[in-house]
Structure 1
Amino acid sequence: MSADIVSPEHRSKIMSMIKGKNTRPEMVVRSVCHEMGLRYRLYRKDLPGKPDLVFPKHRLCIFVHGCFWHRHPDCKYAYTPKSRLDFWQPKLAKNVERDADAQQALHTLGWRVAIIWECHTKNREFLRNEIRKIFGLRA
């Protein structure tokens, strides 16, 4: 195991700046949905997993997942850190497990669930097409 190059206090400050809400990828998805005339609610606490965007009219929940944190399969951004594997592997696996549990609970309640990955938000036209597919809309 290699030593961290910053103090624990500084590392804590760095990690505390990682946002859980209103992230850049979420803002891009919201913007595209709004442009497409799709209206939504944010972070409904009464739903499992507090989905990022909720479309009650469509009984649809969208989660905007960071590729690293939620382990996007076959994505270059979902790399595995080379140090502290004993810390990172269980942490990341727990995120994936929590995601699956929330999705299953939403399905049980009669909601459809869609995932939009962070890497898909880097190209707005690709994202627009993904959203069209999710809603069954034509181009």
Structure 2
Amino acid sequence: MKVYKLDKQTDYELRIAITKLMMEQMDALSSSVTEEDLLQTIDLALEEHSGAEIFVAETDNKIVGCAFLNSGIGLEKGGPYIWLNDLYVQREYRRQGIAKKLLLKVLYWAEQKGFKGIELETGINNAATKKLYNSLGFYDIVSKRYGRHI
């Protein structure tokens, strides 16, 4: 298995594979986003200076996991930080350490780039994911996230 960050030269077939994988995540979340929306978002994220990054886990020439993140600047962090939007591993590849390897790759990359922190969220009842995050030094932040489509 290999884990790597995509770049703007990522070919169309790989972008389609990521779109299909992340569509599984969106379906699980009952999101109304379409495959076309996801592909456009992935294309936008791969543009230079978008502030977004995509990391993938590949095994046997198949994309089985993905981490999608955005960078920002925060007063509380004292500089640049990462918001991990999505971390997803295909169901049949779970419990094999793939999510952990993706997160470790993201953390190493972020440290090399000088980021001050990383934030994310998970479902309140998602014990397995909380255990993973805690094992990598993440801690609970008391807050409630709000959102609105525009």
- Normalising by structure 1, report the TM-score: 0.36
User: Which of the pair has the greater relative contact order for Cα pairs under 8 Å at 6+ separation?
Assistant: 1
TM-score, reference length from structure 2: 0.34
Tell which structure's C-alpha radius of gyration is larger.
1
